[in-house]
Structure formats: C-alpha cells, structure tokens
Amino acid sequence: MANKISDETIEYVGILAKLELSGQEKEDAKADMEKMLDYIDTLNELDTDGIEPMSHVFPVKNVFREDIVTNGDGSKETLANAPLEKDQSFKVPKTIG
Amino acid sequence: MAKQYETVIGLEVHVELATKTKIFCGCSTAFGGAPNTHTCPVCTGMPGSLPVLNKQVVEYAMGIGLATHCDITRVCKFDRKNYFYPDNPQNYQISQLYQPIARNGYVEIAVGDTKKKVRIHEMHMEEDAGKLVHDEWDDTSLVDFNRSGVPLVEIVSEPDMRSSEEVIAYLEKLRTIIQYLGASDCKLQEGSMRADVNLSVREVGTQEFGTRTEMKNLNSFKAIARAIEGERERQIELIEEGKSVIQETRRWDDNKESSHAMRSKEDAQDYRYFPEPDLVPIVIDDEWIEKIKEKQPEFRDEKLERYKKEFDIPQYDAEILTESKHMADIFEETTAICGKPKKVSNWLMVETMRLLKEHSMEPEDISFSPANLAKLIGLTEDGTINSSVAKEVFEQVFEKNVDPESYVEEHGLKTVNDEGALEEVLKEVIAKNPKAIADYKGGKEKALGALVGQTMKAMKGKANPGMVNEKLREMLN
C-alpha cells in the first residue's frame, strides 16, 4: 500500500462526516481509505490531458420541467419522517445560524 | 501622521427567483404557507428522489446575466456542496462551482457625479435551505422546509467597491435590473435579496489586499452601511494594535451594532464539491440566448431618457417614476389611457409618494389600477370634482382601488355648478358677515377669502371655488 492516512486526517474526515469512531473503527476506516486511494492511483496512470471531465454517463442534456405547480400539501408525508414534531415542524436541538 | 486606510469590499448577493415552483420539484414557492405544506420527497432530500430542473430558473438567470454584461456559459453544470445543518436534509446543497451559468460581467454605478464599473466575477444557480425558527418555550429549533428548494441566484462581485455608498449604489442597481426583469421582488427585509459583505482594509497606496472577513445577516441598506463602518473600524484597530485579522465569517447584530465570529474550528468550511450526478448538463446555444435577449425589457436608464424626451418629464421626476418598474408601468398605462403624462406624473410623485410614506409601503405595493387613476384625472379635468375632493377620492383609490366615477356618484361629491343653489348659500353668508362685507367694500381684498371659505364649507367642499369667487364679487358689486 502506497498511500498512508494519518491520524489527523481520519480525525478531520470524522468531523466533516459527523461520525464518532472508536479506535478500532478508525483503524479499519484508515485501511479502507488507503485501498481506495491506491485504486485512484491506478487510474492516475492514464494520460487524461485534453479530455473533458465527465460528469454524467449518458449523452443527455437539457432535461427541464415547466414552471407549473404539480404538488399539493405534502406536510403529512414529510412530517411522517420527523422523529420529533411540534407546530407542524421538525423539532431539533437548538441551532442558531 | 496617522496611517490612512482604504476599505476594499466585494459582495455575494443571493436573490430568490420569482418562479411559481421550486428549482427541482413541482412544489409551490408561495410565501407564508403553513409549515411544511410546500414539501415533497425531492425538496426534503428523501433517498431515491430525483431533481428535475425548472427551465424558468435558467431563463431568469440568463436574463440577469445578459443584463449585467456577463458571458453566458455554454455548457453549464451543477455541483454538490456538502455540509450538515438542520435546515438542509439532503446534507448537500445543489449549487454550481465549476461551470456557473454566467461569468465576467459588470454593472455601472454612480455615487454623486462619479461613475464606476463594478465587475461581476460569476453568477450561479442554487437551491435555498429551509427555515429554522427558535422555540422559546422548549429551547429547541423548529424546521420548516417550505423554503427548501426555492431557486436562488448568487451574484459574486469582484472586490471593486471602496465605501458603503458604492456598495448601496451597486445593490440598488442590481435590484432595479432584477425587478425590471420580473425575476425577483428583491426585498431585503423579507430575505428575497440577501447580501454578504467581504471586507478587508489596507494602507492607502498598497497593492496587496488585506485579510478579509465575510459579514452575514444584513437585512437592510442601513444595516449594511453600519456593518461596513463597524468592520472597517474593527480591522483597523486590530492592525494598529499589531494583531492580525483572521479570515472568518462573522454575524452582524444590528441592534448591538457589532459582530461576532460565527464558526469555530469544529465547523471547518470544507465543502468537498463534486459534480451533481442526478442532473444532466445544460447546453445553451445562440438561438436560446437570442430568444432571451428579445424578451429583455426596457431597463431603467433607457426608460428615464425616453420619459424626458417623449413626455417632457424633468430628470428628477423621471428618476422617481422609474425607480420601480411597477411605478413606471402604472405611469405608462395611465398615460396611455388618459393622454396626460404630466397630470399622471403629478399624482404619482405627490399624492402616491405621500401615501406610500404614510403607510410605510414600497412602490412595489401600489395596488390601484391605471384605469381608476385615469378616471380620476378625467373627473378633475372636466370639472366634475374640484381638487380637494379629488385628493379625498384618490385616498380611496389608493387604499381600496375604488372606481372614482361611481364613488363620486354614490357619495354626492360632484362639484355643484347649480347657480341657483349657490346664490342661496351666498345670500346667507353675506347676511351673516356684515363686517367682512364692509371690509371688502372698504378695499380689503383679503376679506373675500374668508367668505369663499365659509361658502365652500357650507356646501361641504363641493362648490367650484372659481365660480364661488366670481359669483360673490358679482353679488357684492
């Protein structure tokens, strides 16, 4: 394995992903990420100069909707997913922007 | 001598587009619905749901891009911006980083007599997040996703502004252009236009930029001006004390007139953008651009010149009439009906502006119809009502859009042109005021004014003042 994931990196990725990992889980994740990076290195061996980066596998473009309201009151279905609910809203821990 | 500092400002302006539906689903964008009623699996980020782009969003964005002299990106794509926040259930925002819809534009602003160009770096399309409301009772936050997925454009300027006056001139210019396009109502207080201010200071004469901060939560022009002043002072103070400015996002508190840092190290801004796999590229050809160009309205600067030439309206009046497209539309439509541009301009400039101010309303909120204003002008022109009655009727037109003709009829407000009735009232007034009559006959012209006033009052304001004056002189001489 050529790539090495440092403790700092796994800590940082954990913060970004909002994951709390145990010591063993961190070690496992490091090994997995190292394998992934090695695979990417294989792809990096290819010469991609002058090739447009691909963002989509199908040769499809300009798929649009017209600006017409098609959905009605969706609150019941949406709120069915709320672990906690109050005043027809999702209740979450106090969050200030 | 103390060091001289220059403020360098760039702006990120978010504008909510006036589409009927959200950017990626058929949910309504109407403001003020009960919480979570305008939601579906797409705008609440349910697994397996797929976004489909609203064509009107692209066309509004193209219209704004063209009006601000931008190059329209011919192959335009969306990207995912990843972050966790309760107002965003997808855990990413669909935005544009690599191929934004428009780039390299500018708008021209004027502060006093000085004109300058403020360059636009880029403009992109993205989705808005939901709204968090703090619940005092439980000390929790409540999330309403009605705003989640409402289309936005973000317009990013170059750091070309040097004062709060320039910033406000730039925002006003953008707002007018976008309102003229009908692409947004751009109300800062209601959040349909939001500006983040990137600001740094440097010693006058230096070329390099200082470290900048980003200021959020600015919801009026006054708050923006105060925040710019406050942040400039804060940064200069740090530099003078030999400390350094930290690059960070700060939240302005307009009540306290101070700001505080918003994010700590724990919330590092690392968005890990990548191309959005659920949306296909947008390819824009010449034909589409031409179609949008043809649909562009006459913008304010052109309109202003035309009013001066075509209707002989003075510069200052034309500025007020064209400040809002809605006002300009009312002016043009009313003029088309009654053919009296000066009278229309006068009603809009004087009485309408007075009532708007009295009700703390914006020109955008004017709700009377051009037809009713034209009718009112007709009634005054042909002498059916006098000018003080006209003002009274106009208040009704302004507030309730009443039909002036039937209102005047129903309330018996027509000017009394009946000589017989006038003569009766005049006889009584003359009998009651022997002293005034004597004064007038003794050469005091002014005494007549009081008599006219009493006659008008006795006739409940409906007499024709010219006729009262004439008749009175006739009877006294």
| Residue of A77, A81, A88 lying closest to B34 (CB–CB) | A88
User: Does some domain include residue B19?
Assistant: yes
Q: How far is Cα B382 from Cα B50, in angstroms, rounded to an integer?
A: 63
Residues B323 and B227 in one domain: no
Q: Let me know whether B341 and B279 are in one domain.
A: no
End-to-end CA distance of chain A: 42
Q: Are residues B439 and B367 in the same domain?
A: no
Distance CA A68, CA B26 (A): 7
- Quote the crossing angle between the two packed helices B164-181 and B325-338, to the nearest 10°: 50
Are B270 and A16 inside 8 Å of each other by CB? yes
Based on the domain organization, do B235 and B105 belong to the same domain?
yes
Residue B136 CB-density burial (10 A; 0-12 exposed, 13-18 middle, 19+ buried): exposed
What span, in angstroms and rounded, lies between the C-alpha atoms of B109 and B347?
Answer: 29
Residue A94, SS3?
Answer: coil
Count how many domains chain B has: 3
For residue B104, the one-letter residue type is N
- Contact assignment for A74 to B266 by CB distance below 8 Å: no
Q: Tell me the CATH number of domain A7-44, given options 1.10.10, 1.10.150, 1.10.20, 2.60.40.
A: 1.10.20
CA distance B449 to B181: 52
Distance between CA B397 and CA B372 in Å, rounded? 7
Nearest to B142 among A56, A67, A86 (CB): A86
In a domain, B296, yes or no: no
Q: Which amino acid is at B157?
A: S
- Same domain? B406 vs B423: no
CA distance B407 to B399: 13
Tokens for B96, please give them.
């544009």
Residue B433 falls within a domain, yes or no?
Answer: yes
By the 8 A CB rule, do B470 and B449 touch? no
What's the pLDDT at B120?
98
Among candidate residues B354, B386, B410, the one where a domain is terminated: B410
Query: Both B377 and B451 in a single domain?
Result: no
Q: Is A2 on the interface with B (CB under 8 A)?
A: no
Residue by residue, pLDDT tens for chain B (477 residues) are 578 999 999 999 999 999 999 999 999 999 889 999 999 999 999 999 999 999 999 999 999 999 999 999 999 999 999 988 899 999 999 999 999 999 999 999 999 889 999 999 999 999 999 999 998 888 999 999 999 999 999 999 999 999 999 999 999 999 999 999 999 989 888 889 999 999 999 999 888 999 999 998 898 999 999 999 999 999 999 999 999 998 888 999 988 888 988 865 445 568 889 999 999 999 999 999 999 999 999 999 999 999 999 999 999 999 999 998 999 999 999 999 999 999 999 999 999 999 999 999 988 889 999 999 999 999 999 888 888 889 999 999 999 999 999 998 888 888 777 777 788 888 888 888 888 888 888 888 788 888 888 888 887 777 777 788 888 888 877
Residue A54 contacts by C-beta under 8 Å, 6 or more apart in sequence? none
Got the DSSP string for B102-131? EEEEEEEEEETTEEEEEEEEEEEEEEPP-E
Same domain, B350 and B442: no
pTM of the prediction? 0.83
Cβ neighbours for B53, distance < 8 A, ≥ 6 positions apart = A63, A64, A65, B23, B24, B279, B282
Which residue is associated with the tokens 């050529």?
A: A2
Residue span of the structural domain in which B398 resides: 301-410
Q: B466 and B392, same structural domain?
A: no
In chain B, which residues have their Cβ closer than 8 Å to the Cβ of A83? none
Report ipTM (2 d.p.). Answer: 0.89
Interface test with B, best of A16, A61, A84, A89 (most B CBs within 10 A): A89
Output the tens digit of pLDDT for each of chain A's 97 residues.
588 999 999 998 888 888 899 999 999 999 999 999 999 999 888 898 998 877 777 889 999 999 999 999 999 999 998 999 999 999 999 987 5
Give me the residues of B, 251-280, that contact A with CB < 8 A: 251, 262, 266, 268, 270, 272, 275-277, 279-280
* pLDDT number for residue B412: 80
Chain B interface includes A94 (CB < 8 A): yes
**Maximal C-alpha separation, chain A:** 57
Q: What are φ and ψ of residue B252, in 5° steps?
A: -85, 135
If asked whether residues B174 and B31 sit together in one domain, one would say: yes
Tell me which of B355, B388, B410 is where a domain ends.
B410
For chain A, the structural domain boundaries read 7-44
Assigned domain for B293 exists: no
Of B410, B435, B461, the position where a domain reaches its end is: B410
Q: Are B159 and B279 within one domain?
A: yes
- CB neighbourhood size of B430 (10 A): 17
Residues B168 and B47 in one domain: yes
Nearest CA-CA distance, residue A62 and chain B, Å: 5
Q: Are residues B51 and B194 located together in one domain of the fold? A: yes
What's the confidence (pLDDT) of residue B1?
A: 58
Do the domain assignments include residue B294?
A: no
Torsion of CA B343, B347, B353, B358, to 10 degrees: 160
Query: Measured between beta carbons, which residues in chain A are less than 8 angstroms from residue B51?
Result: none
Residues B266 and B264: their CA atoms lie apart, in Å, by 5
